[in-house]
Amino acid sequence: MLSRFCNRLSLRVTVVRLDTCLTYDKGRRGFKSLVEHKRCILTYARENNERYKQKRFCGYSGTIGGPLTHVTYEQVCNETLESLSEYFEEIVEEAAHLKAADVSYSDGVLTVKFGVPHGTYVINRQTPNLQIWLSSPISGPKRYDFHDGRWIYRHDGVSLHELLSQEIPDIVNRHVDFFHCAYSGSSK
């Protein structure tokens, strides 16, 4: 079942097949869940001082056969929000000029407070509509649907990750690339 969501998760030369979960972790065989597996990859990268942008997360590159079910939506949405949360935490840690910045993720709601004058981003799942909603202090509210392995705003065709990659660099004063996060539609 996991192979339907993601064929491979890679970290430089380490390639792990998620559908079989035969990766070894400190003498233990396999992982209980996809989330545990991703956390292991993130921990490995941090322990080895690798930069987030050098990793490739489970970026679903195909299409889901049939309609998006609630089970599929929950898994895809959770992976998306968790990878965005991890990347926002790294961005905020490296932005010394944003002393009041804070990132929190709980119960499907990701809140990124950049402080005055930048404002707050809220990204949350909207389960009844099978969408992710974004509230941006720059571009306003948007509702994203999952289409072809990425979250798309139907009115302008711009993906969630593309919008964040456009808006956040001006706030943090450095280049950021959200296309390395889960379900960005990128195969980078």
Span 151-181, pLDDT tens digits: 999 999 999 999 999 999 999 999 999 998 9
Residue, of 148 and 47, whose pLDDT is higher = 148
Amino acid at 155: H
State pLDDT tens for residues 51-110. 433 333 443 333 444 467 888 999 999 999 999 999 999 999 988 888 889 999 999 999
Measured CA angle at 165 (ends 79, 60), to 5 deg = 35
State pLDDT tens for residues 15-35. 333 333 333 344 444 444 455
Tell me if 63 is assigned to some domain: no
Which domain does 14 fall in, by range? 2-54
Which tokens in the block code for residue 27? 């003498």
Q: What is the pLDDT of residue 115?
A: 84
Tell me if 158 is assigned to some domain: yes
* C-beta atoms surrounding 21 within 10 Å: 16
Identify the band that residue 12 occupies on the pLDDT scale cut at 50, 70 and 90: very low
Tell me if 93 is assigned to some domain: yes
Residue 100 falls in which region: left (phi positive, over 0), alpha (psi -120 to 50) or beta: alpha
Q: Are residues 13 and 105 in the same domain?
A: no
Asked whether the predicted pLDDT for residue 126 surpasses 70, the reply is yes
Q: What is the pTM of this model?
A: 0.66
Q: Are residues 89 and 42 in the same domain?
A: no
Q: Are residues 82 and 143 in the same domain?
A: yes
Number of domains in the chain: 2
The residue ranges of DSSP E strands in the chain, in sequence order, are: 8-11, 14-17, 24-25, 28-29, 102-106, 109-113, 120-126, 131-136, 140-147, 150-153
Which tokens in the block code for residue 117? 């004058």
Amino acid at 46: R
Tell me if 140 is assigned to some domain: yes
Which tokens in the block code for residue 166? 């456009």
